[in-house]
Amino acid sequence: MPSPRAHNPASRRAFRALAAIVIVILIGTAGFMWIEGWSAWKALFFTLVTITTVGYDDFAISPAGEKIAALLIVAGIAVVSFAFSQLARTIAEHHRDPCKASKRKAMKMQDHYIVCGLGRIGRIVCNRLVRLGVPFVAIDPSRDVVQHLLDMGINAIIGDATDDQTLHAAGIDRAKGVVVVTSCDATNIVITLTARELEPEANIISRAEDENSIRRIRRAGATAVISPTRESGLGIVDRILNPHISDMLERSDWGEDRIRIAEVMIHPATPFVGKTIVDLGHEFPEVAFVAIHDQHNVISVHPAADRKLAPGEILLIAATAKNAEALANRAEPPAAKAA
């Protein structure tokens, strides 16, 4: 997987500028060594004073050498001027890029999430991830929107998430998942396609408004598709029919006492392998074991007390944030804890 540094336009400009200067110097040096028969050092020195137009000392050169010197003066001034303008532009862009700190952090991140789109839904997703302490990098083409997140201490990058370079800068090769929530279904399809091409195994959650777009985004490679319009309609129905349950699940001012639904992966090396639901119930009496998602994509709701857990299964629980975190930590393999 290519490094994000390899896709940096500023780095390419700086490299081309320096390469142009070196090429002119090498051509001039080789030309004077061949025509005048000078040593490499004398030819190099004469080339440098010619390009920089600092003036000549007492050099006796042939008519052919004078022609090369004339060409060097013209080419040297042009190349050096171009090179320094490109270097100055690169330095200026480096200093005015508000996202350089976020890009450096993204290059070091592991198992983080990438949020593409910082509209109404995207900001809700970011705020939720911040409250849960989940690492992520946000991407949006709007400088003002990204600057607002940067001012809040949130990692954000200005860029087009449909572009490979932007996703590489956000660390897609090390990301745990990609959340695609722009307001345009067509853009979400392209971002999903791009992310799936870059990372075939990525967990991609994408937003869709139109029913036809839901099918297209699934075909583009989304792991799951969320329709805010549909979800809000279902939420209204739940609020009407089950007001107390909805209030219990949605209130955010309860802190650690707020009930949340969480999932726990049963890794092969976890101490939970082979244990039954009743075993876990004795160890975590305040946790409700809701369902088990097995390796055959079958979901067993309210698993039996003697149901044994197997590697690769996902245990769905209902618990307070504190108890859910305690169970998740206990389920980690020894190697992950040591890391």
In three-state form (DSSP H/G/I as H, E/B as E, the rest C), the secondary structure along the chain is CCCHHHHCHHHHHHHHHHHHHHHHHHHHHHHHHHHHCCCHHHHHHHHHHHHCCCCCCCCCCCHHHHHHHHHHHHHHHHHHHHHHHHHHHHHHHHHHCCCHHHHHHHHHCCCCEEEECCCHHHHHHHHHHHHHCCCEEEEECCHHHHHHHHHCCCCEEECCCCCHHHHHHCCHHHCCEEEECCCCHHHHHHHHHHHHHHCCCCCEEEECCCHHHHHHHHHHCCCEEECHHHHHHHHHHHHHHCHHHHHHHHCCCCHHHCEEEEEEECCCCCCCCCCEHHHHHHHCCCCEEEEEECCCCCEEECCCCCCECCCCCEEEEEEEHHHHHHHHHHHCCHHHHHC
Report the alpha-carbon distance of residue 332 to residue 266 in Å, rounded.
8
pLDDT of 7 above 50 = no
pLDDT digits (tens, 9 = 90+) for 161-173: 999 999 999 999 9
Q: CATH assignment of 4-96?
A: 1.10.287.70
Question: What is the rounded average pLDDT of the residues 142-170?
Answer: 89
Evaluate whether 170 touches 113 at the Cβ level (below 8 Å). Answer: no
- Every domain of the chain with CATH number 1.10.287.70 lies at 4-96
Phi, psi dihedrals of residue 275, rounded to the nearest 5°: -80, 155
pLDDT of 58 above 70 = no
Bridge partners, residue 262, by sequence: 317
Q: Which residue has the tokens 């939420």?
A: 235
Cβ neighbours of residue 16 closer than 8 Å, sequence gap 6 or more: 86
Q: CA–CA distance from 40 to each of 19, 27, 62, 72, 73 (Å)?
A: 20, 12, 17, 17, 19
Amino acid 324 reads: A
Number of residues assigned to the chain: 339
* Mean model confidence pLDDT for the chain: 80
Evaluate whether 115 touches 102 at the Cβ level (below 8 Å). Answer: no
pLDDT digits (tens, 9 = 90+) for 233-291: 666 666 677 666 666 666 544 455 667 778 888 888 888 889 999 999 999 998 889 89
pLDDT digits (tens, 9 = 90+) for 103-126: 888 888 888 999 999 988 999 899
Model pLDDT, residue 95: 55
Listed residue (12, 47, 13) closest to 28, CA to CA: 47
Listed residue (178, 254, 251) closest to 217, CA to CA: 178
Report the CATH fold assignment for 100-232: Rossmann fold (3.40.50)
Per-residue pLDDT band at 319 (split at 50, 70, 90):
confident
Model pLDDT, residue 3: 42
Model pLDDT, residue 64: 75
This prediction has a pTM of 0.56
Listed residue (92, 103, 71, 74) closest to 13, CA to CA: 92
- Every domain of the chain with CATH number 3.30.70.1450 lies at 257-338
pLDDT digits (tens, 9 = 90+) for 64-92: 776 777 777 777 777 777 777 777 776 66
Class of domain 257-338: alpha beta
pLDDT digits (tens, 9 = 90+) for 193-228: 999 999 998 899 999 888 788 889 999 999 999 887
Q: How many CB atoms lie within 10 A of CB 28?
A: 23
Q: In a 10 Å sphere around its CB, with 0-12 CB exposed, 13-18 middle and 19+ buried, how is residue 178 labelled? A: buried
Question: What is the rounded average pLDDT of the residues 18-46?
Answer: 83
Model pLDDT, residue 334: 67
